[in-house]
Chain A
C-alpha cells in the first residue's frame, strides 16, 4: 500500500480547485478533483476505493456538500472515509448540520495550507 495520501477535493470554483491542487501536491498528496457533488459521486462510484480522504465545499450547484456527505454515508464503502468540509461558511447551524450528516470536521476558508495539511494527516492516521 502506498504511503501517499489520496485526496478528493470537491469545489465548484475552478480558481479554488487550482489553489487546492497547488497546496496539496506541493505537500506530497495525490489529488483528484470534482466540480460538485454529482461529479464526485460519479467518480467515486468507479474509483472510490483509492481515496483516503474527501475535502468538500458546501455551496455548489447540482449537489451541495451536505447532499454529498449524506449520499456517501449511506454507502457502506464510504461509511468510515474521513470527510472534511472546507467552506467560507462558519455558522454553528451549518456546522451542526454537517456533523449530523456525518462530516469528520470543518475548515473555514480562507484556508491555511499548513493547517489543512495537519488536519488531513490527523484524520487519515
Chain B
C-alpha cells in the first residue's frame, strides 16, 4: 500500500511537473508574506520586515531544490531540463545538427539495410514443433564430409528405419519452375518433397491439406501445395485456390492446400518456396535435369527425421552406418559418380538445431555475412569517428561556456551528463533518419531484378539493431569528447585572450580519428576496384560467338496445350516465318536459352585419364543451324543437321578444349563417350568447334566451367522452345518482329523470353554490377564523411589560430605561406591515412589470391575471383583521396587568409 502511495506521488510529481513547481513557489511565497506580517507587527518597517523574513528563511532557490530532491524526482527533472536545453542548443546550431544527423543517419541506414538482408538470409529461425528431436541426415562424400542425399531410392531406404525414426521426410533443394498465371509465364521456386514433410516438422497446413502417399506414387496425377507467401502475394489469399488447376511447365497441376504461414521453405535462405510437389513429379517438372530413362529419380534431397522416444543421435548414426554400406552395394552406379555428386558410403546424422543451412555451407555462409557486415560496419566506423571529431571540435569551441558554468558551481558530472544527453539526442535522431533511409533503401533494393528474390522486412531484430547501434554510438562517441571538454584549466580558459597554446603533439585524438577515416575510405575504394576489375575481366573475355544482331524468342508449346507432333509442326512453321523476316541471315530452333550450360559427368571410351574413367564436362543444347546462327567456326567434321533424330544414334559436337583434354587430339571426330549415369548412352563425336565463352557470368568468372560439348535438342526427346535468329539489321527490331510472327502462329502462345543476345549477356552480369555499385556507393560515402571530418578539424584549427594568423599577416607573411603552414599538417594526416588504407587493400588482395580461389560450399564449388594488384588503380585511389582531402582543407584555410588582419586580431 505504501509502495503504491510513493509510486503514485512520484508519478504525479512527474506528470504534473509544472503545477508542482507553481505550487511550491506559492507555498514558499505565503510563508514569506506571513513572516513579514508577523515581523511588521513587532514594529519593523515593511521593508525591514521583508528583508528579515528572507534572512530567516534562507535561499529560496536552494530550498526549492531541496524540496524537489525530497520528492525523489530531482534526477528526472534534471533529465527533462537537460533534454530541453540540449534540444534548444541543437536547434540553434542547426548546421552542425543537420550534418551530424545526416552522417549518422546514412551510416545507420546502410547498416540496418544490410543487416536486414543478412537477417533475412541467416538469422531467422524456423519454428518446428519439438525441434530438438529432429535430426538431419546426409550421405557423405568420399572424404567423409556430409553432402546431401542424392537419390529418392536412398531416402526411401532411410524411411524404412521406423524403429529409430518415428517419421522421416525429404525435400529437394529449391528448383526454378514456370507456371501460367493471368496469361503470362511466371518464374517460381518449387521444392519436391515427401508426403510426410509437414507431419515430421510438426506443422499444419494453413488451408486444405498436404499431398498424401497415393499422390506421391510414380505416375499419380500432379498436385502441389502452395507456399503461404506465394498464396498471399500472387493469389491475394484467395481461399478458393484449393482445388484449382494451374499449368506448371505446361502440365495441369491441382493445388491441394496452402502451407503454414511460418514456413518459408526447407532451406530458408531468403528464397521463399512457392510450390511444394511430390518428389515423383521431378521427371515431369524437370525434363532437363535427369535423363528420362534413369533407373531412379536422382535429385539432391535434404532429409530430416524425428527420433523415436529414447533413441539417441548416436544410435541413429549407428543404424545409418549400416544402411550406408548396404546402399553402396545395392546402387553401385550412384557411388561411381564423380564431380558434384561424388558420394561415399558414409552417412552423417546431426541434430537439426545445430545446422543452419548445411553443415558444409554454414561456415562460409556466416563468413560471407560477416564480411558484408564488416564492410558496412567500416562506414559506420567512419561516421562514428566523424561524429566524435565534430563533437570534439564543438567541445573545444565551447570551452569558454563550459568553464563559465564550472565557475558558477556546476559539477563536472552535471556538465558531462548535459553533453552526453546532447550526443544521445543526436544519435537517436540519426537512428530515426537511419531507419527511414533503410526502409527506403530496402524498397529500392527489392526493385532491382536479381536472379533470386530475397524476402526482407524490418522485423524486431532489425529495429533493435538500429536502436542499439544509435545508442551505443551516442554514448561511446559522446563520452570521450564530453570528458575532454570538461577537463579544462579554468583560470587559463577564462583568462583566454585568444592566444591559445598551439597543440604540437602529433598523436591527438582528432588526428588519429582523421587518419582512421581516410584509411577506411581508401580500403573501400580498393574493394570497389577489385569488383570493377572482376566485371571488366568478364567483359574482356573472348565471347567467341555472334552477339550483334542476334535475338531470341522463347515460348513453351505445352502451356498452350500442344501435343508433341502439333508442337513440332507449329515451331517449324514459326522458324520458317522468322527466316522470312527481311534482313534475317540465319535462324535456328533450340531448347532453353542459348549458351546455357549443364554440368555432366561422362565416361570417355578408351580413356586412360586418372583418377577414374569419369570426367566432368558441361553440356550446351544446340541443334541444326545453331553454329551457323551464332557464327561458331567448325574445325573438323560436321555440325547437327536433319539426320540427327531421336531414333538415330546419339551424336555430339565438342569444343577443341574438350577434344584436346579428353581425346588427346583436336580432331576427335569418330570417338565416343557416354553419360556416367546411363550405360546405354554412347555418343559419337561428329564435329569439333572453336572454344567460346558461355552465356553466364558465373560460368566464366565465379565458377569457370570445364570442357564443353553440344548436343542437339532433336535427340533429347524434348521439344524446342526457342527460336534464335541473326539479322544484318538491328537486333531490337528483330525481337519485335519475331514476337509478331509468334502471335501470327498462335495468339495463345506465351512469350517467356524475348531479348537480344547483348541483353542476355548484360543481364548475366547484374549481380556483380550491383555489388560493384554498392561498394562504390559505400566508398564514396566514406570519402564524403572523411572529408567532412577533415573540413571540421581544419576549420576549427584555423579558427583557433585566427589571432596568430592575423599577427603573421600583419607582420607581412604572404597568404601562401600561411596556407602552406596549415596544409602541411593536413597533408601529413591524409598521407598517413592513405598509406594505411593502400597497405590494407594490398593485404586484402594478397589474401584473396592466396585463398586458393575456391570455397567448397558442399553443393557445388564457389570459385572466388583472384584479383591482380594493379598499381595504376592504387595510384588513382591515392590521387582521388588526396584531391578530396586537400579540397576539404583548402576551403577553411583560404577563408583564414582572406580575413582582414584587424578582424583576425580582434577575433576571440
Asked if A and B bind, the verdict is no
Chain B residues with CB under 8 Å of chain A are none
Chain A residues with CB under 8 Å of chain B are none
